[in-house]
Amino acid sequence: MADSATLKEYLTFAIALAKEAGALIKAASEKRMADGGAVLVKYENPADLVTETDQAVEKFIKERLAATYPDHKFIGEETMAAGAETAFTDKPTWIVDPVDGTTNFVHGFPFVAVSIGLTIGKEPVVGVVYNPLMDELYSAAKGQGAFLNVNQQLPLLRAPLQDVSQCLVATEAGSDRSPAVIDKKIQFIHDIVSQLGAQAHSLRCTGSAALNLCHIAKGVLDVYWEVGCWEWDVTAAIVIVNEAGGKVYSGASTPDPRPVNIFSRKYLAIRSGSEEQQLKVAHQLWEIIPEIDAPRKPVPGGFEP
């Protein structure tokens, strides 16, 4: 593990990089709002959008990281979509989503962020998530706290964590639209909000896994559950949640109190509170969460499905 001064150096670098990347996203968003710019690059799944901006921003971040830290590894959404194979090792590994909330970007819904995470010894240790459209920058390094816009320590809201019936819960439709998957997600929503279920306070979807997690870190969402997103959507924000006193567990239906495997594609985040209360709420969720298949290629050293 790197010492705290080295982590701080990586964090400072990642914050500056996120701001530069954010400026590119903001300019592209303004162009899109003005004249429909940022052409869609289609893959086979029409519910999983990719634009020229995703690709350009990832190229920018990847090149800047390679120039500054040539020994470090890189896992990025667009690089992996283009077929790259990266083993997950103990070496410093940057895990990047250039634009998390691409669908929001395309529609002008302002929950859009660049997400830059770093693992060392396979552990997420640095995370920066920057929403340039709202100018909100979330950052954290292991053992050094989590912050909004560098000087506001997270969580902002420190109310006691209560029963799931008192929670504001976030989830997402996700990009797998097969009826069997959507039926299970709708059943989860029913069981969370209905009078016959947990009757939680309400439900939210921001369209960005990274920003859902940052709102958990802020304390303004209590629970976030999603199956189907990827390590680049969550790695940076997991550091931010952890440093804000929250927890990210497995989002599979089987209770598991260990920290989530970032490659698992199944995430359950609970905001800050006592560990006993966090686990109580997590167990209430595990009783409701359906088992949903989220297939992926094996990641050598990281995840064997």
Annotated binding residues for Mg(2+): 77, 97, 100, 233
**Exposure letters 115-144 (e unless 16+ CB within 10 A, then b):** bbbbbbeeebbbbbbbbbbeebbbbbbbeb
Residues 134-193 touching ligand LIP, rule: CB under 6 A, are 172, 174-175
231 binds ligand LIP (CB under 6 A): no
Pick the binder of ligand LIP from 51, 55, 119, 208 (CB under 6 A): 208
- Options 22, 76, 92, 101; binder of ligand LIP; rule CB under 6 A: 101
For ligand LIP, give the closer residue by CB, 172 or 243.
172
Residue the block writes with tokens 């052409």: 39
**Contact predicate 116/231, CB 8 Å:** no
Among residues 180 and 196, whose Cβ is nearest to ligand LIP?
A: 180
Which of residues 57, 116, 118, 209 is near ligand LIP by CB under 6 A? 209
CB neighbour class for 41 (10 Å; exposed up to 12, middle 13-18, buried from 19): middle
Binding residues: 77, 97, 100, 233
Q: How far is the CB of 4 from ligand LIP (least distance, A)?
A: 30
Residues 16-55 that bind ligand LIP (CB under 6 A): none
Q: If binding is defined by CB under 6 A, does position 100 make contact with ligand LIP?
A: yes
The stretch among 15-23, 94-102, 146-154, 268-276 that binds ligand LIP (CB under 6 A) is 94-102
Binding residue count for ligand LIP, defined by CB under 6 A = 13
Assess contact for 124 and 262: CB atoms under 8 A. yes
Strands laid side by side in the 202-204 sheet: 202-204, 168-170, 223-227, 266-270, 247-250
- d(C-alpha 281, C-alpha 165), whole Å: 10
C-alpha to C-alpha distance for 299 and 88, rounded to whole angstroms: 7
Q: Of these, 79, 102, 139, 242, which contacts ligand LIP (CB under 6 A)?
A: 102
Closest among 18, 62, 23 to 150, alpha carbons compared: 18
Considering the complex, state which of residue 166 and residue 175 has its C-beta at the smaller distance from ligand LIP.
175
Q: Residue 187 corresponds to which tokens in the numbers above? A: 């059943």
By beta-carbon proximity to ligand LIP, the closer residue of 7 and 24 is 24
**Minimum distance, C-beta of residue 300 to ligand LIP, in the bound complex (Å):** 23
- Which element (helix H / strand E) includes 240? helix 231-243
Query: Applying CB under 6 A, does 97 fall inside the site for ligand LIP?
Result: yes
Strand ranges in the chain using DSSP code E only, listed in sequence order: 73-76, 93-100, 113-120, 123-131, 136-141, 146-148, 152-153, 168-170, 202-204, 223-227, 247-250, 266-270
Cα(189)–Cα(186) distance, integer angstroms = 5
Q: Rule CB under 6 A: choose which of 229, 237, 244, 282 binds ligand LIP.
A: 229
Query: Does 78 sit near ligand LIP (CB under 6 A)?
Result: no
Residue 69 or 109: the one with the smaller Cβ distance to ligand LIP is: 109
**Cα separation of 216 and 38, whole Å?**
30
Least distance from ligand LIP to the Cβ atom of residue 144, Å: 25
* 74 beta partners: 94
Residue closer to ligand LIP (CB basis): 102 or 273: 102
Interface with ligand LIP by CB under 6 A: which residues? Answer: 77, 97, 100-102, 172, 174-175, 208-209, 226, 229, 233
